[in-house]
Structure 1
Amino acid sequence: MSRIRVLIADDHPVFRYGLRAILLAEEKTMEIVGEATTGEEAVALASQYEPDVILMDINLPELNGIEATRRITAALPRIGILMLTMFDDDDSVFAAMRSGARGYLLKGAEGNEAIRAITAVSKGEAIFSPTIANRLIGFFGTPIKRRPSATIPPFPELTDREREVLTLIAQGYSNPAIAERLVLSPKTVRNHVSVIFSKLQVAGRAEAIIKAREEGLGHKGEF
């Protein structure tokens, strides 16, 4: 089994040292491919090494982590970016999600929590620290907009099946759980998810969830 290739992007030497120690302790499953201290350097190293996961701070010099994430996900969408930052305000969280980040973890998280998050992001899943997850649950739990049943359904460019898959994504289901729920193969679900992201022009799962919730999809009871 190949190791998860990780790029660290943070301008604080002490924090990078701590991350390095955590990852080196998991050398059988994790590999550090590089360290960036600025946003511009993160973009350059992402292109050079094409890691599986980037641990990205928001407050980076030269180019902030949000814009660096946007550039990286636009050019290399297969790379999973996990925000690892001190900022827990709504603006930062949703800006990170819209930029294409797959996860958001607050600095101060335990080492095993960081390892679990890196592993999940490497598999294409969205993951958030408990504090952020509770905030998102509150946001996702209230549909922003409901459409009358007689009107055109949300995202008319999607097929009925793709809309089903998107609804389950918005409810927080992983790809394997969607496959089980809809009695589909994991490969078929992955294909549906890829097509959905392309049609909605989103960089990743988190951004797709926001779009779906804004259109009223994903509230419990739809299935």
Structure 2
Amino acid sequence: MVLADDETMIRAGVRAILATDPGIEVVAEAGDGREAVGLTLLHRPDVVLLDIRMPRLDGLGAAEELRRVAPDAALVVLTTFSEDAYIERALGCGVSGFLLKSGDPRELLAGVRAVAEGAAFLSPAVARRVIDTLGGPRLTRAADARTRLTGLTGREREVVALVGAGLSNQEIAERLHVVEATVKAHVSAVLGRLGLRNRVRLAILAYEAGLVPDA
């Protein structure tokens, strides 16, 4: 993966956490968004971890460019509670994961692993903030979310809940004792039926509907 943050100490801390997982390799570090794009094109990593606030090109600008030039790379943003205004833009950039800089290191590892496997990941604290930025009273949105899910089968609701929990298709298949192709078919069908663009939007809906335990 490529790690991008303009603060050297933050990068060192994040890299130290990632180094505890033998399945994660940081192949390059960037100090700004423009450098992150270049290193991604050079190394073609599975995951790019982007700080939002960086010089020359911020993390969301880098995400927008990476979505065009390196569409196979999964994008994760590191955010703080003061950056709620960027969340809607991040969703439009095709970001697959939202992680909190001050969050639990285990969430960082889980989030990177999840997006590398094609899943969406929102740390629970960030999920609450994402939902709160989307407009409308939270109780009303919860009721609307539950209504939208009423047409799904019981198995589809199970899949939606597990997508919201950040599980990959393979992990969902193992949990439900089905083949991965079946999970992919369920996810595609649900996205189409609900008119959602990606798994992140589906994960947010799962949170709003109360299918994912709040932290």
Same fold (TM over 0.5): yes
Alignment-derived partner of residue 113 in structure 1: 107
Q: CA shift at 1:143, angstroms? A: 2.5
The structure with more radius of gyration: 1
Secondary structure (helix, strand or coil) at the match of 1:141 reads helix
Q: CA shift at 1:12, angstroms? A: 0.5
Secondary structure (helix, strand or coil) at the match of 2:99 reads strand
Structure in which a larger fraction of residues adopt helix: 2
* 2:34 is aligned with 1:40: yes
Q: CA shift at 1:209, angstroms? A: 5.8
Secondary structure (helix, strand or coil) at the match of 2:118 reads coil
The correspondence for 2:24, drawn from 26, 30, 33, is: 30
Q: Could you tell which deviates more after superposition, 48-57 or 75-84?
A: 75-84
Residues 201 and 135 of structure 1: CA distance in aligned 2, closer, same or farther (over 3 Å): closer
Q: CA shift at 1:131, angstroms? A: 1.8
In the alignment, structure 1 segments of 5+ residues that lack a partner are 1-5, 148-152, 154-159
Q: CA shift at 1:201, angstroms? A: 9.3
Alignment-derived partner of residue 127 in structure 2: 133
In the alignment, structure 2 segments of 5+ residues that lack a partner are 133-137
Q: CA shift at 1:99, angstroms? A: 1.0
Alignment-derived partner of residue 71 in structure 1: 65
In 1: Cα distance, 2:55 partner to 2:42 partner: 20
Letter in 2 for 1:57: D
Letter in 2 for 1:125: A
* 2:13 is aligned with 1:12: no
Alignment-derived partner of residue 89 in structure 2: 95
Letter in 2 for 1:44: G
Matches within 5 A, 1:43-62: 43-62=37-56
Q: CA shift at 1:178, angstroms? A: 6.7
Q: CA shift at 1:68, angstroms? A: 0.9
Q: CA shift at 1:115, angstroms? A: 1.2
Q: Deviations over 1:93-131 (max 9, x none)?
A: 222122111111111223222112211121222222232
